[in-house]
Amino acid sequence: MKAYQEMNKEELLSCKAGLKKEFEDAKGKGLKLDMSRGKPSVAQLDMGMDIFDVLNSGTDMKSKEGVDVRNYGVLDGLIEAKHMMADIMGVSAENVIVYGNASLNIMYDAVSSAMTHGVMGCTPWCRLEKVKFLCPVPGYDRHFAITQHFGIEMILVPMTPQGPDMDMVEKLVSEDESVKGIWCVPKYSNPQGYTYSDETVRRFANLKPAAKDFRIFWDNAYAVHHLYDEEDRQDKVLEILSECEKAGSPDMVYEFASTSKISFSGAGVAAIASSKGNLECIKKTLTIQTIGYDKINQLRHVRYFKDFEGIKAHMRKHASLMRPKFQAVLDVLERELGGTGIGSWTNPNGGYFISFEAMEGCAKAIVAKCKEAGVTLTGAGATYPYGQDPKDSNIRIAPTFPTPEELALAADIFVLCVKLVSVEKLLEGKAYKIAV
- Which residues sit at the interface with a second copy, rule CB under 8 A? 37, 39-40, 42, 45, 48-53, 55-59, 61, 68-73, 100-102, 104-105, 108, 112, 115-117, 126, 142, 145-146, 149-150, 260, 264-267, 285, 288-297
Q: Which is nearer to a second copy, 314 or 369 (CB)?
A: 314
A 10 A CB-CB count for 249 gives: 19
User: Considering beta carbons, is residue 65 or 232 the nearer one to a second copy?
Assistant: 65
Nearer to a second copy, 68 or 405 (CB): 68
- The DSSP code sequence of 181-238 is EEEE--SS-TTT-----HHHHHHHHT---SSTT-EEEEE-TTTT-BS--SGGGS----
In terms of CB distance, is 72 or 232 closer to a second copy? 72
C-alpha distance from residue 236 to each of 140, 197, 233, 240, 372 (Å): 20, 9, 9, 12, 40
Smallest separation (angstroms) from a second copy to the CB of 335: 31
Cβ of residue 75: shortest distance to a second copy, in angstroms?
A: 10
124: number of CA atoms within 13 Å, CB side? 8
Closest to a second copy by CB, 150 vs 228, is 150
Instruction: Tell me the closest approach of the beta carbon of residue 274 to a second copy, in angstroms.
Output: 20
CB of 161 to a second copy, least distance (A): 28
Amino acid at 407: L
Angle at 19 (CA atoms; ends 16, 22), nearest 5 degrees: 155
| CA dist., res. 70 & res. 55, Å (int) | 12
List the one residue out of 261, 258, 256 whose CA is nearest residue 240. Answer: 256
User: Closest distance between a second copy and the C-beta of residue 339, in Å?
Assistant: 37
Decide whether 89 or 270 has the Cβ nearer to a second copy: 270
In whole angstroms, what is the distance from residue 76 CA to residue 96 CA? 8
CB of 31 to a second copy, least distance (A): 21
C-beta of 348: minimal distance to a second copy in Å? 21
296 or 313: CB nearest a second copy: 296
Q: Reading across the β-sheet that carries 96-98, which strands appear in turn?
A: 96-98, 270-273, 253-258, 215-219, 179-184, 132-137, 153-160, 163-164
Query: Pick from 141, 104, 35: which is nearest to 388 by CA?
Result: 141
